[in-house]
Structure 1
Amino acid sequence: MTQLLALDAGGTSTRAVALDHDGEVLGLGRSTAGNPTAAGIVPAAEAVAAAARAALPPGTTSDMAVLAMAGEQSDAFRAEVEQRLAAYGVTRVVLDHDLLALFCSGTASLEGYALIAGTGTVAARVRDGSLERVVGGRGWLLGDAGGGFWIGREVVRAVVSALDGQAEATALTQDVLGALGIVADPAYEAGRVSAIRQLVSAVYARRPVALAELAPLAFAAAAAGDPVARRVVVAASEALADLLDAVRVPDLEGPVVVGGSVVARGVLQAPPALSVDLTPPARGVAVTAVPDGLVGAAVLALRHTGAEVDDARFERLRAAIRLPQPA
């Protein structure tokens, strides 16, 4: 019996769902990073195949796979994925944008807006079921203001400036030193010098985007009342709202779907004492937050077969596709 495969390939994990052609969920799977930019072409293709294998029930194959992913959809990556999924009967691989899958994870509507703010940031306008305009997604070196890397970099800069005596003290100092395993007592001059030396070495020894791991420290310190951290997260929220504004137009209201740890677990889940100062992602318009793009990938897979996904079918998909979220 042939099925459909829908996959959401992210920089941390790859999620998969097997469906029949009526949209009934038959299996779910998860594997490691399936984004070739994050993991490399071959490891990412292997992760996609592993997630597909976990989702397909024994004895079944799939005639089509829809893969939602960020970044460049290169011919080399497609070839690696096609080669591996052929073992499961797949004869057609469709690569879709993760922004479109994210949007379709939050609504059955064919038009509206999507915003992803995780390590990086990107926003899109969706019209007639397709991406009409995309802004952002330029990576840590050229953009991604308001994302996890951007916040983490601002946090480290604030800590270095505080240790150097060039800026005000911040609770982030001990938080960052602890997170990076740095042992030093910045209450004394020698300790400050040692802390800066170790901090600089630790940061430059890691991949630049690893600074995104420090973003939750900013939200926690801001919620606890640290003014330095508060300025960082307020600026991040303003940058995300500006990014979404760049794709919004007066003639398209539509739902707004958001995802990614910074917006979903940071901005939207901030306590009242902090959220009062944060700029809402859509500047007051209600948003729908989703954990990932797997439901949307399933929606896209069905639509690629010509099937209609109305509100009722969408709600059935959303209820059935519930992979446990990693801790």
Structure 2
Amino acid sequence: MTLLALDAGGTSTRAVALTPAGDVLGYGRGPAGNPTAAGIGPAAESIGAAAGVALRTAGSAEVAVVAMAGEQTDAFRTEVTERLAAYGVTRVVLEHDLLALYCSGTPAPDGYALIAGTGTVAARVVGGGLAAVVGGRGWLLGDAGGGFWIGRRVARAVVAALDGQAPPTALTPLVLAALGIDMRTADPEDPVARAALVRQLVSSVYARRPVALAELAPLAFAVPNDPAARSIVVAASRALADLVDAVRVPELAGPVVVGGSVVVRGILGAPESLAADLVPPAGETPVVPVPDGLVGAAVLALRHTGHAVDEATFLRLQERVLAYALRASA
């Protein structure tokens, strides 16, 4: 029997073919496989394309597990099932990307998961399933501590500084450059010049999709000694800690598996001068960062077909999936 595991994200889709013993047979990658981000048809097509590459050696698979965010609609399931049937798949299981992320970091059946990318969501995992989920409400209604949340505060800090409502910030040249605004000839002491820069900034931001402000989030981590940037990052770390606390229960210590650029490359990768002020998203519990949910999707594929995943199998999966991914990106 050959199994297929896929992590269908909003930017790309990753797939592995594997045996019931946890041996990886192939790896594939395709465009966005999340129906919310790409649309049902294109997302299903991306999943099929990634599956085809992963199955070049094995040729076919019987069961496929697809880890994804968002609503698992009947229409999407039908499209994916039809695409994967071309590779012999007769059973398709759709799983939450949070659960796959958790299973990418540990084989333990109980613990916590946190995703902090553009948005934020946390979960408590019990018995290998999702027992509680908090967050994930989108940039308009939630996602505190996520990329949009940070990026919006970065843009607001620059507008306030240029307007004279706040002290100057090192974020200003970074934000203006990111938006393609040339400030080299503008005198920062000239209120007329500053007003012109604000107008350009406002026009640029409102011309884009609101969630695109998430692209400015990394700038907050680029100048850790700037007071405005520092306050934004510290507030974000506290918001993420609060999100995990919302699903935490006294009888379950952890582990806490985390993924997403804000927490993995931002909060956990912050320099020492900033890290001392940050609140770890897991309190006293060790944090396990992972790049994505592909290993977890493979773990779930094994469990859905009745195969236990012990520590040795889990570590072998981690090692081999990483090796295939690195080879594919070389």
2:124 maps to 125
- Partners in 1 of 2:197 and 2:81 — Cα distance? 49
2:193 maps to 191
- Partners in 2 of 1:233 and 1:254 — Cα distance? 24
Note the 1:240-259 alignment, pairs <5 A. Answer: 240-259=240-259
Please report how far the alpha carbon of residue 163 of structure 1 lies from its aligned counterpart in structure 2 after TM superposition: 1.2
Note the 1:42-57 alignment, pairs <5 A. Answer: 42-57=41-56
- Partners in 2 of 1:81 and 1:7 — Cα distance? 11
* 1:306 lines up with 2:293 in the alignment: no
Say which is worse superposed, 114-123 or 177-186, in terms of deviation.
177-186
1:161 maps to 160
Letter in 2 for 1:16: A
Letter in 2 for 1:271: P
1:15 maps to 14
1:275 maps to 275
Q: Structure 2, unaligned stretches of length 5 or more?
A: none
**Structure 2 length-normalised TM:** 0.95
Please report how far the alpha carbon of residue 58 of structure 1 lies from its aligned counterpart in structure 2 after TM superposition: 4.0
Q: Structure 1, unaligned stretches of length 5 or more?
A: none
- Count of residue pairs brought into register by the alignment: 324
Percent identical:
69
Cα distance per residue 1:277-327 (max 9 Å; x no partner): 111111232111001000000000000001000111101101110113979
Note the 1:1-327 alignment, pairs <5 A. Answer: 2-58=1-57, 60-184=59-183, 185=186, 187=188, 188-222=190-224, 225-322=225-322, 323-324=325-326
- Partners in 2 of 1:186 and 1:311 — Cα distance? 61
Please report how far the alpha carbon of residue 203 of structure 1 lies from its aligned counterpart in structure 2 after TM superposition: 1.1
C-alpha change, 1:326 and 1:173, in structure 2 (3 Å) is farther
Say which is worse superposed, 183-192 or 81-90, in terms of deviation.
183-192
Question: What secondary structure sits across from 1:28 in the alignment?
Answer: strand
Letter in 1 for 2:265: R
- Partners in 2 of 1:127 and 1:4 — Cα distance? 24
Say which is worse superposed, 237-246 or 316-325, in terms of deviation.
316-325
Letter in 1 for 2:302: L
**C-alpha contact (below 8 Å) 1:238/1:278 kept by paired residues:** yes
Letter in 2 for 1:198: Q
Say which is worse superposed, 182-191 or 250-259, in terms of deviation.
182-191
**C-alpha contact (below 8 Å) 2:6/2:64 kept by paired residues:** yes
**Structure 1 length-normalised TM:** 0.96
- Partners in 1 of 2:193 and 2:75 — Cα distance? 50
C-alpha change, 1:34 and 1:156, in structure 2 (3 Å) is same
Question: What secondary structure sits across from 2:63 in the alignment?
Answer: strand
Cα distance per residue 1:68-89 (max 9 Å; x no partner): 0111111111111111111111
- Partners in 2 of 1:190 and 1:19 — Cα distance? 63
- Partners in 2 of 1:254 and 1:160 — Cα distance? 41
- Partners in 1 of 2:139 and 2:68 — Cα distance? 18
- Partners in 2 of 1:111 and 1:39 — Cα distance? 32
Please report how far the alpha carbon of residue 249 of structure 1 lies from its aligned counterpart in structure 2 after TM superposition: 0.3
Letter in 2 for 1:290: V
Letter in 2 for 1:202: S
Indicate the RMSD between aligned Cα atoms, in angstroms.
1.4
Letter in 2 for 1:19: L
C-alpha change, 1:326 and 1:210, in structure 2 (3 Å) is farther
**C-alpha contact (below 8 Å) 1:163/1:186 kept by paired residues:** no
Question: What secondary structure sits across from 2:223 in the alignment?
Answer: helix
